[in-house]
């Protein structure tokens, strides 16, 4: 079995659509999924999805693109309180995004640090979104780690070798998405080949970033299998071994989802 460690089920919002999508995923061997919050409001709303479907977990947090939607930035205590819900297994997604640049850099940093504090308060890992901001991500991770331990996952890994090495040094986890299957993603595949075996996970980030052969179409959790097949190839593992490995890593990182 595989686990989709990062998807946005709240974006599948036509009547009955979530049940269909989750059903197709289970048929394809993706037995559990994590639906991710990007604003405080959505983080509250996705709890209903996790409550409705037994095999759905949730993460709660504020995405950098939404860091300035509501100011001042989110209070760590509020996120930590939401995270006490039995189906919430992590904080996020949060981080920095200088590509879209929807919020000023200083506000993104305050928001990222608030999400990290929530992770520390809740004793849960944080799921990190990093886009065109690798040096600042590494700096903030180092500074915040000095203030107290927290586990982290670089979701949808597509960053530089430099950030990969810093994250490996800090004992971070790496999740690979459909980007891994794109012809031009040679550098992502190089990193996917060298990350320690006990640090790798898979995800879709659906509805975005569908893997080959669905590239350009709407993504869904069932397609995790295509990314996993590519990761298995890159690592020289059988699909079964890769599935076992990523599922074990998922449960090690997201302790609340351990069974
Ligand atoms: Zn996402």
Quick: pLDDT tens for 69-92. 999 999 999 999 999 999 999 999
Tell me what the pLDDT averaged over the chain comes to.
97
7 alpha carbon – ligand 1 mean position (Å): 6
| Rg, C-alpha atoms of the chain | 17
Q: Taking 70 as the threshold, does the pLDDT of residue 259 lie above it?
A: no
Decide if 249 contacts 173 (C-beta within 8 A).
yes
Q: d(Cα 134, Cα 212) in Å, to the nearest integer?
A: 26
81 class by beta-carbon count within 10 Å (0-12 exposed, 13-18 middle, 19+ buried): middle
Q: What is the average pLDDT across 221-235? A: 98
Query: What are the pLDDT digits (tens) for 198-219?
Result: 999 999 999 999 999 999 999 9
Other CB atoms within 10 A of residue 189 CB: 17
pLDDT level of residue 101 (50, 70, 90 thresholds): confident
pLDDT level of residue 258 (50, 70, 90 thresholds): confident
pLDDT level of residue 25 (50, 70, 90 thresholds): very high
Joined together, the tokens standing for residue 43 give 């983080």
29 class by beta-carbon count within 10 Å (0-12 exposed, 13-18 middle, 19+ buried): middle
pLDDT level of residue 164 (50, 70, 90 thresholds): very high
Residues forming a β-bridge with 62? none
51 alpha carbon – ligand 1 mean position (Å): 20
Q: Taking 80 as the threshold, does the pLDDT of residue 65 lie above it?
A: yes
Q: Taking 70 as the threshold, does the pLDDT of residue 137 lie above it?
A: yes
156 alpha carbon – ligand 1 mean position (Å): 8
Q: d(Cα 142, Cα 134) in Å, to the nearest integer?
A: 12
Q: pTM of the entire structure?
A: 0.96
Joined together, the tokens standing for residue 209 give 């970033």
Q: Is the dihedral of CA 171, 149, 160, 155 positive or negative?
A: positive
Q: What is the average pLDDT across 85-114? A: 96
Nearest Cα neighbor of 39 from 77, 14, 65, 11 is 65
202 alpha carbon – ligand 1 mean position (Å): 13
24 alpha carbon – ligand 1 mean position (Å): 20
Nearest Cα neighbor of 17 from 199, 159, 221 is 221
113 alpha carbon – ligand 1 mean position (Å): 18
36 alpha carbon – ligand 1 mean position (Å): 6
175 alpha carbon – ligand 1 mean position (Å): 11
Q: What is the average pLDDT across 174-196? A: 97
Please give the share of the chain, as a percent, with pLDDT higher than 70.
Answer: 100
Q: Tokens 């890994």 sit at which residue?
A: 157
Q: d(Cα 26, Cα 22) in Å, to the nearest integer?
A: 6
152 alpha carbon – ligand 1 mean position (Å): 15
């Amino acid at each position: 079995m595989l686990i989709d460690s990062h998807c946005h089920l709240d974006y599948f919002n036509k009547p009955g659509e979530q049940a269909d999508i989750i059903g197709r995923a289970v048929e394809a061997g993706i037995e559990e999924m994590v639906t991710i919050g990007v604003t405080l409001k959505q983080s509250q709303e996705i709890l209903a999805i996790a409550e409705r479907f037994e095999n759905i977990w949730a993460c709660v947090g504020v995405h950098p693109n939404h860091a300035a939607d509501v100011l001042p930035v989110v209070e760590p205590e509020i996120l930590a309180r939401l995270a006490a819900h039995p189906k919430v297994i992590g904080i996020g997604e949060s981080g920095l995004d200088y590509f879209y640049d929807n919020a000023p850099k200083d506000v993104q940093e305050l928001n990222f640090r608030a999400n990290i504090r929530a992770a520390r308060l809740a004793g849960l890992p944080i799921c990190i979104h990093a886009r065109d901001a690798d040096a600042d991500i590494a700096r903030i991770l180092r500074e915040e780690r000095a203030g107290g331990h927290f586990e982290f996952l670089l979701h949808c890994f597509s960053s530089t070798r430099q950030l990969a090495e810093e994250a490996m040094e800090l004992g971070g986890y790496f999740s690979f998405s459909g980007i891994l299957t794109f012809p031009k993603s040679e550098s992502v595949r190089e990193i996917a080949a060298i990350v320690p075996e006990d640090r790798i996970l898979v995800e879709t980030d659906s509805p975005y970033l569908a893997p080959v052969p669905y590239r350009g179409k709407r993504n869904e959790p069932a397609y995790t299998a295509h990314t996993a097949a590519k990761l298995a190839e890159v690592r020289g593992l059988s699909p079964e071994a890769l599935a076992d490995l990523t599922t074990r890593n998922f449960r090690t990182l997201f302790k609340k989802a351990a069974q």
